[in-house]
């Protein structure tokens, strides 16, 4: 059967796998699969079970629900998971050999995370942030029925809103739940947020993260590890290097705590490497295990075809507590690594190789069973198995084929990897997607995509939007300029507080390199990007006249107003020098709005009213400025139920609408 080009609506056919968790005896793996119901215009997610020996998968939960974050009981007989239905979320439990699931908790409306079984299987641990009673669904409904107005909010903290969650009217604390009855209560309290709880190996203590400094608003980086008895009581701080932390994980022998951490005093988007740290569980000096590896740990890859942006996965211990497994972002890839805990001089070792993106992993240290969720540029993520006892590189065996029937029909573009030299002798990595049936003697329009972050990376993961534009006859160029993760810390920190300088030079170097090729039509080039990529698109408009059109998505245009409207409240003289009230010069100079009078290309502005990361006032300022300058501009303003992640997890119909509007805009100016 002849393969066809990928289409816009193929997005609706993709299945997004996530949350793999291997059971305690290493024979099975629970995971979830998220699908799009185009008729109901909703996402539904269900649990599936993978038999690791036969590689057979079977669906485990059903219905119009969103199930995920599954965890095994220590004896492997039960599974807990998060279920969201009608916008309400609870912890559910069911037998691991099948049966009817039941709601375990009866919590108020709010956000639940980091569910973990106690070592004896008697209790569950999680973090919970309740929603203010004024803003629950029931309260809203009662106001509508009675005709009453919405009440005001009382705001006293800088960090009062969070992208993807909304307004944080209540603090998040650590809760314990009886695994049989579902009775739950908080074991921490106070005017601060507690998160990422983890059981000590003996079940007597709980570790968690919290910023309890004198003024967390002024020192957001002052995150510490705290201990509390499993019975509750007073919390005790553990001395660790100053900086953001995540992914707490106790060793099986109870002697150590591993965690991911940054040594920094920066704002929340610190460009310093996230490294793997080891801390004695009974107190002592923390030791960095990845100091010799000049890469950040965790997955930094940006794409639009996975269940969700991966978080800071806790490192995985070997059964004898001698080694740790973790992921590393490296030159557009995400690989699995291992490091010795006992040998202080041991360097981390890569266990995988090639062009791939590991978005999640799990394993059973005793049996050696390992499961990874892996994507590549021409295939969405599927589960792969390997043995933790094998030598590097691990032999990977594909275990699921959820998206294979679709991919087998598609003629996708294999990216050409390029490296170019920029200023100061910097080597910059990029990729070029070519249209299907590409001919070297034909001229093609070029679309230059710029990633967000800025401290993320484009890479070897499947990206529906980019593949679709290539299928529509475009050359698609995407790169990792300085500021991107996946490279040295010097490379990532090179643009700290100085956007539009070295990063701009790197982007132009890549564009110059590719545009010299005979098949690139220099008169038909467009630029597009979202978030920081939108910032750089706006910057390009004011500093370069080679583009025939531009698409700026969820962008930043004014650093002075962004200082106080972003959900990451800026620190004066933090990541950015100065402040808007007494030292605004640097912020103004770094704002694309200050240079927008040089814009000549027609601009499509895309923004969501519910965006708390880059508030819509940024788009409003750009639109008014371009209109006053008599430039051609269209502003597409998506409704409040969409947010910063519209292109990755927004309502399906609006994701398609966004894609079509971009395509129509590009075709208007770049097609012959």
Record the tokens describing residue 182, joined without a space: 């579902």
User: Do residues 135 and 167 make contact, with C-beta atoms less than 8 angstroms apart?
Assistant: yes
Burial of 481 (0-12, 13-18, 19+ CB in 10 A): buried
Record the tokens describing residue 12, joined without a space: 């609706």
Q: Omega of the bond prior to 454 within 30 degrees of 0, cis?
A: yes
Going from the C-alpha of 545 to that of each of 65, 553, 594, 602, the distances in angstroms are: 49, 19, 16, 11
Which DSSP helix (H) or strand (E) runs through 592? none
Give percent helix, percent strand, percent coil of the chain, each to the nearest 5.
20, 35, 50
Q: What backbone phi and psi angles, to 5 degrees, belong to 271? A: -85, -5
The residue from 201, 607, 644, 647 that is catalytic is: 644
Distance, in Å, from the CA atom of 521 to the CA atom of 441, rounded to the nearest integer, reads: 11
Distance, in Å, from the CA atom of 315 to the CA atom of 308, rounded to the nearest integer, reads: 19
Distance, in Å, from the CA atom of 365 to the CA atom of 388, rounded to the nearest integer, reads: 7
Distance, in Å, from the CA atom of 210 to the CA atom of 244, rounded to the nearest integer, reads: 10
Neighbours of 589 (CB within 10 A): 13
Q: What backbone phi and psi angles, to 5 degrees, belong to 645? A: -100, 30
**Neighbouring-strand partners of residue 124:** 117, 177
* 656 DSSP 8-state letter: H
Distance, in Å, from the CA atom of 367 to the CA atom of 68, rounded to the nearest integer, reads: 25
Instruction: Report the alpha-carbon angle 161-164-168, nearest 5.
Output: 30
Catalytic site includes residue 644: yes
Q: What backbone phi and psi angles, to 5 degrees, belong to 95? A: -65, 145
**Neighbouring-strand partners of residue 446:** 475, 525
State the alpha helices, DSSP H only, in 54-120.
Answer: none
Catalytic site includes residue 319: no
The length of the chain is 672
Record the tokens describing residue 369, joined without a space: 């069973």
**Neighbouring-strand partners of residue 608:** 638
Neighbours of 98 (CB within 10 A): 10
Question: What SS3 string covers 148-209?
Answer: CCCCCCCCCCCCCEECCCEECCCCCEEEEEECCCCCEEECCCCCCCEEEEEECCCCCEEEEE
Q: Write b or e for each residue in 150-177: b if 16 or more Cβ atoms lie within 10 A of its Cβ, otherwise e.
A: eeeeeeeebeebebeeeebbbbbbbbbb
Distance, in Å, from the CA atom of 420 to the CA atom of 638, rounded to the nearest integer, reads: 37
**Neighbouring-strand partners of residue 112:** 128
Distance, in Å, from the CA atom of 193 to the CA atom of 113, rounded to the nearest integer, reads: 13
User: Do residues 506 and 481 make contact, with C-beta atoms less than 8 angstroms apart?
Assistant: yes
**Residue that has been written with the tokens 């002849």 in this structure:** 2
Record the tokens describing residue 669, joined without a space: 């100016």
The residue from 362, 531, 555, 561 that is catalytic is: 531
Active site members: 531, 644
């Amino acid at each position: 059967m002849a393969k066809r080009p990928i289409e816009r609506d193929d997005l609706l056919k993709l299945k997004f796998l996530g949350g793999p968790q291997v059971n305690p005896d290493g024979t099975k793996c629970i995971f979830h699969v998220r699908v799009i119901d185009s008729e109901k215009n909703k996402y539904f997610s269900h649990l599936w079970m993978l038999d690791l020996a036969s590689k057979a998968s079977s669906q485990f939960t059903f219905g119009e629900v969103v199930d995920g974050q599954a965890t095994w009981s220590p004896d492997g007989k039960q599974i807990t998971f998060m279920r969201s239905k009608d916008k309400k979320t609870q912890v559910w439990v069911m037998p691991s050999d099948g049966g009817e699931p039941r709601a375990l908790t009866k919590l108020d409306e709010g956000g639940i995370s980091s569910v973990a079984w106690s070592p004896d299987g008697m209790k569950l641990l999680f973090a919970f942030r309740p929603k203010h009673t004024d803003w629950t669904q029931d309260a809203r409904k009662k106001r509508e029925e009675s005709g009453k107005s919405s009440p005001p909010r009382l705001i006293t903290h800088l960090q009062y809103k969070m992208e993807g969650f909304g307004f944080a009217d209540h603090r998040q604390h650590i809760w314990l739940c009886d695994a049989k009855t579902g009775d739950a209560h908080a074991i921490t309290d106070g005017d601060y947020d507690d998160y990422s709880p983890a059981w000590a190996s003996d079940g007597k203590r709980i570790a968690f993260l919290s910023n309890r400094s004198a003024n967390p608003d002024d020192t957001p980086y002052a995150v510490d590890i705290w201990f509390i008895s499993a019975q509750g009581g007073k919390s005790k701080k553990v001395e660790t290097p100053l900086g953001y932390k995540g992914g707490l994980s106790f060793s099986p022998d109870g002697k150590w705590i591993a965690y991911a951490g940054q040594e920094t005093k920066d704002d929340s988007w610190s460009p310093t490497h996230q490294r793997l740290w080891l801390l004695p569980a009974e107190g002592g000096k923390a030791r960095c295990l990845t100091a010799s590896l000049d890469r950040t740990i965790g997955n930094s890859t940006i794409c639009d075809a996975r269940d969700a942006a991966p978080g800071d996965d806790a490192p995985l211990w070997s059964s004898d507590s001698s080694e740790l497994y973790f992921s590393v972002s490296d030159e557009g890839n995400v690989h699995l690594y291992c490091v010795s805990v006992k040998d202080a001089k041991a360097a981390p070792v890569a266990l995988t190789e090639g062009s791939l993106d590991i978005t999640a992993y799990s394993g059973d240290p005793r049996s050696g069973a390992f499961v990874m969720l892996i994507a590549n540029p021409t295939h969405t993520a599927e589960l792969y198995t390997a043995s933790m006892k094998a030598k590097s590189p691990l032999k990977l065996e594909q275990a699921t084929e959820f998206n294979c029937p679709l991919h087998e029909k598609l003629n996708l573009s294999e990216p050409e990897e390029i490296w170019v030299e920029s200023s100061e002798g910097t080597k910059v990595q990029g990729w070029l997607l070519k249209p299907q049936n590409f001919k070297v003697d034909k001229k093609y329009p070029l679309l230059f995509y710029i990633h967000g972050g800025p401290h993320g990376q484009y890479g070897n993961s499947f990206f529906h939007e980019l593949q679709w534009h290539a299928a529509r006859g475009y050359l698609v160029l995407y790169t990792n300029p300085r500021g991107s993760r996946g490279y040295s810390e010097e490379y990532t920190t090179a643009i700290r507080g100085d956007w539009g300088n070295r990063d701009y030079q790197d982007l132009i170097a890549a564009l110059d390199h590719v545009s010299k090729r005979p098949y690139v039509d220099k008169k038909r080039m467009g630029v597009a990007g979202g978030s920081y990529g939108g910032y750089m698109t706006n910057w390009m408009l004011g500093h370069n006249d080679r583009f025939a059109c531009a698409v700026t998505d969820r962008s930043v245009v004014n650093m002075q107003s962004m200082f106080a409207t972003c959900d990451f409240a800026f620190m004066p003289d933090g990541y950015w020098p100065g402040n808007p009230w007494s030292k605004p010069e640097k912020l103004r100079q770094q704002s694309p709005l200050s240079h927008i009078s040089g814009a000549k290309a027609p601009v499509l502005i895309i923004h969501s009213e519910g965006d708390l990361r880059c508030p819509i006032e940024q788009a409003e300022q750009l639109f008014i400025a371009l209109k006053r300058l008599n430039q051609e501009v269209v502003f597409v303003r998506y409704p409040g139920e969409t947010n910063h992640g519209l292109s990755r997890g927004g309502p399906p119909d609006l994701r398609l609408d966004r894609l079509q509007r971009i395509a129509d805009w590009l075709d208007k100016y770049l097609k012959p």
